[in-house]
């Protein structure tokens, strides 16, 4: 068996270690106040990282063809998990969403598993139906029905951010599979209409939109998080205020170790921190796309592209939120934000790409 892409492996390890450092820096004040343990989030994320690293190495040695053979089973398990998490007494409510299975003080988010599972399932489907992708009804519609059902289950939690990432990732796969461009115009219009209905149907989403358009309209309510994020990013300057010297983590920016960790990175490292994070993300996505382009087989090519699309869009969505270019969606920043499900599944995804890289 040939060696995998070492550069991608080193990049993933490096950004994860940087993320652990920043999780400690951004969380120790809040962690000491809430849990009387300033190292709580550092210890938990380090534990998640070790599990993720072991799984990434193991997965990198598993022949990717097994995902093709077992894709239906993986998808079915994740689909059932999405149903079960909605059942009171089984799924836990956190931050207003019933999207977690609780195990002691830890939680598992099935939507994270579904995002990867659906990429695998869709890649296999497109391989088997590649001759029919020009025919929307016969080649694309069956897959879209499955994707939309998965999206609707995620929306029942509700988790708009994960649902949108799931949809856009599959649309990206359809694009590289050769679906007619007119289809994307139509689905874009339908998507805008559907998104508008979803926003109108939930008052809290309308509040997020109005807070996005004018956060100062309610600076202590719906606009609070966006304003505090900008207060963190703005003073960073060229080199920032220095590691551990953030002001906003002192009870201004709520739980900064999660979705808004980029704000703390910008505050403590300034523009230099933005360059560092951008370098990691661009390099990782470049390596994945390079591996995809070098694949001779269609399945690993689509699988790699799907993982790249999913990772890219989640990064852009998170950065858009913390810089107030997009409404708040509750999406983590891959590799950097605190969270076991997100980190472990992302590292497993990298393990799959590393295994594919052994064969190109």
Q: In the chain, pLDDT over 70 holds for what percent of residues? A: 95
pLDDT (tens digit per residue) in 93-127: 877 778 878 766 677 889 999 999 999 999 999 99
pLDDT of residue 274: 94
pLDDT of residue 3: 82
Tell whether the model's pLDDT for residue 357 goes beyond 90: yes
Tell whether the model's pLDDT for residue 1 goes beyond 60: no
**Angle made by CA atoms 83, 86, 90, in degrees to the nearest 5:** 100
As a whole number of angstroms, the distance between CA 168 and CA 162 comes to 10
Lowest mean pLDDT among 182-191, 252-261, 284-293: 182-191
Say if residue 57 is exposed, middle or buried (CB neighbours under 10 Å; 0-12, 13-18, 19+): middle
Average pLDDT over residues 229-249: 89
As a whole number of angstroms, the distance between CA 283 and CA 289 comes to 10
As a whole number of angstroms, the distance between CA 318 and CA 323 comes to 9
User: Considering only CA atoms, which of 179, 139, 118 is closest in space to residue 307?
Assistant: 118
As a whole number of angstroms, the distance between CA 268 and CA 239 comes to 8
Give the residue with greater pLDDT, 216 vs 46. Answer: 46
Torsion of CA 348, 350, 353, 358, to 10 degrees: -100
pLDDT of residue 204: 66
- pLDDT bucket at 49, cuts 50 / 70 / 90: very high
User: Considering only CA atoms, which of 173, 114, 162 is closest in space to residue 292?
Assistant: 173
Lowest mean pLDDT among 40-49, 72-81, 213-222: 213-222
Q: What is the full DSSP assignment across 283-330?
A: HHHHHHHHHHHH-SSHHHHHHHHHHHHHHHHHHHHHHHHHTTSS----
pLDDT (tens digit per residue) in 308-342: 999 999 999 999 999 988 887 778 999 999 988 89
pLDDT of residue 93: 80
pLDDT (tens digit per residue) in 175-232: 998 888 777 787 788 878 877 777 776 666 677 677 677 777 777 777 788 888 888 8
128: preceding bond cis by omega (within 30 degrees): no
Q: What's the token pair of residue 358?
A: 């052994």
The mean pLDDT of the chain is: 89
Which residue matches tokens 């906003």? 248
Spell 273-304 as b/e; 16+ CB within 10 A means b.
bbeebeebbebbbebbbbbbeebeeebbbbbb
In this prediction the pTM is 0.92
Q: What's the token pair of residue 150?
A: 């998965």
In angstroms and rounded to an integer, the radius of gyration of the C-alpha atoms of the chain is: 20
Rounded to a whole number of angstroms, the distance between the first and last alpha carbons of the chain is: 12
Tell whether the model's pLDDT for residue 54 goes beyond 90: yes
208, 328 contact by CB (below 8 A): yes
pLDDT (tens digit per residue) in 131-174: 888 877 888 889 999 999 999 999 888 888 888 899 999 999 99
- Name the 3-class secondary structure at 92: strand
């Amino acid at each position: 068996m040939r060696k995998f892409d070492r550069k991608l492996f080193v990049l993933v390890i490096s950004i994860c270690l940087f993320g652990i450092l920043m999780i400690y820096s951004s969380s120790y004040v809040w962690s000491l106040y809430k849990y009387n343990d300033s190292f709580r989030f550092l210890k938990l994320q380090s534990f998640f990282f070790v599990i993720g690293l072991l799984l990434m190495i193991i997965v990198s040695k598993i022949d990717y063809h097994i995902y093709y053979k077992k894709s239906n089973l993986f998808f079915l398990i994740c689909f059932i998990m999405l149903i079960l998490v909605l059942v009171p007494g089984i799924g836990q409510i956190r931050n207003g969403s019933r999207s977690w299975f609780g195990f002691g003080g830890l939680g598992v988010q099935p939507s994270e598993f579904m995002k990867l599972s659906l990429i695998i399932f869709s890649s296999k489907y497109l391989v088997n139906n590649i001759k029919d992708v020009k025919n929307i009804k016969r080649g694309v519609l069956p897959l879209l029905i499955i994707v939309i059902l998965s999206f609707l289950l995620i929306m029942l939690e509700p988790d708009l951010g994960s649902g949108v990432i799931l949809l856009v990732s599959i649309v990206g796969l359809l694009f590289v599979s050769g679906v007619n461009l007119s289809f994307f115009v139509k689905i874009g219009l339908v998507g805008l209409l559907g998104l508008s209905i979803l926003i109108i149907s939930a008052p809290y989403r309308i509040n997020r939109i109005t807070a996005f358009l004018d956060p100062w309209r309610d600076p202590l309510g719906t606009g609070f998080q966006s304003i505090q994020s900008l207060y963190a990013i703005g003073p960073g300057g060229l080199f920032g205020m220095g590691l551990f010297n953030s002001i906003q983590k002192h009870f201004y920016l709520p739980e900064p170790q999660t979705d808004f960790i980029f704000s703390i990175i910008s505050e403590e490292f300034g523009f230099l921190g933005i360059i560092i994070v951008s370098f990691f993300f661009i390099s990782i996505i470049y390596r994945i796309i390079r591996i995809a382009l070098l694949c001779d087989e269609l399945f690993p090519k689509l699988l790699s592209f799907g993982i790249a699309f999913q990772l890219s869009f989640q990064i852009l969505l998170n950065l858009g939120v913390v810089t107030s270019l997009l409404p708040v969606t509750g999406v983590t920043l891959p590799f950097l934000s605190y969270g076991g499900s997100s980190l472990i599944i992302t590292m497993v995804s990298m393990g799959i790409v590393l295994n594919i890289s052994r064969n190109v």
